[in-house]
Chains A and B, each alone.
Chain A
C-alpha cells in the first residue's frame, strides 16, 4: 500500500516569513495529492490539492509543487500569519473513490 512521509514534524517561523513542508510517497500509481489544515480538535480542512498532470499550483499565499519522478511534493506558505498556525497534513491517493493516506503531520507555529 501507499506510504507517505512528511517533514518536518514541527516548524516555527516568524510572522511574514515563508514555510515549506515536504512529503514523499511510495506508490507510483498515486496521482492525487491534497493538503489539509487541522486546528486542535477540529476537522481537517482541504486547503489545496494537486494532480499528477501538473507540476505546480498556487492559490494566493499557498502553493504546492509536485515532482512525480522523485515522488515528492511540497507545500509553500508565503507571508505567514499567526492564523496559519495549525497542523498540516499531506496525503496521497489514486483518483476516483480512493482512500487518502496521510503523512504524520507538521505542527506549524507562526510567531507574531
Chain B
C-alpha cells in the first residue's frame, strides 16, 4: 500500500539559511499534519491542513510557514534556521471523516550547523 512520502530524507543547512520540506500524503488522504521531533523527545505538533486550508496550529515558530496545494501535497518552509531547529520532521496524513488515524511518513532529518 502507498505510504506518506517525504523529501528530502536528509538535509544539512547552515544557520540563517532556509529550507523547504515536502510531504506527499497517502492517496485520497486530504489532511496533512507536520510534527517536529527532537532527539529523545516526543513528536510535537506544528501545523495541519485540510482541503488546502490551515486546520490547526501548534508550536510552529513564526519563522516557519506551510501550505497545502491542490494535489494535497504540503510544504514546510523554514527560514532563518537556528541550531535548535535540528530535528526529525514528520508529516502525517489522514482521511477526513469519522476516523482519526494518522499515518506518518519516514521523516526528514534536518541538521543545522
Residues of chain A touching chain B, judged by Cβ–Cβ distance below 8 Å, are 32, 34, 36, 41-46, 49, 89, 93, 95-105
Contact = CB atoms under 8 A, between A and B. Distances in A.
B107 A93 contact: no
A97 B55 contact: yes
Given A43-B106, A44-B43, A96 B100 contact: yes
B42 A104 contact: yes
A102 B92 CA distance: 14
Contacts of A101: 45
5 contacts: A34-B101, A43-B90, A44-B104, A96-B96, A104-B41
B17 to A, nearest CB: 23
A98 B31 CA distance: 10
Contact of A99 (B56, B98, B101): B56
Interface of B: 31, 33, 35, 41-45, 48, 50, 55-56, 58, 88, 90, 94, 96, 98, 100-107, 109
Interface of A is mostly: loop
B42 A89 contact: yes
A36 to B, nearest CB: 8
A36 B96 CA distance: 20
Contacts of B105: 43
Contacts of A45: 104
Contact of A97 (B35, B48, B106): B48
Given A42-B106, A43-B107, A98 B43 contact: no
Contacts of B33: 99-100
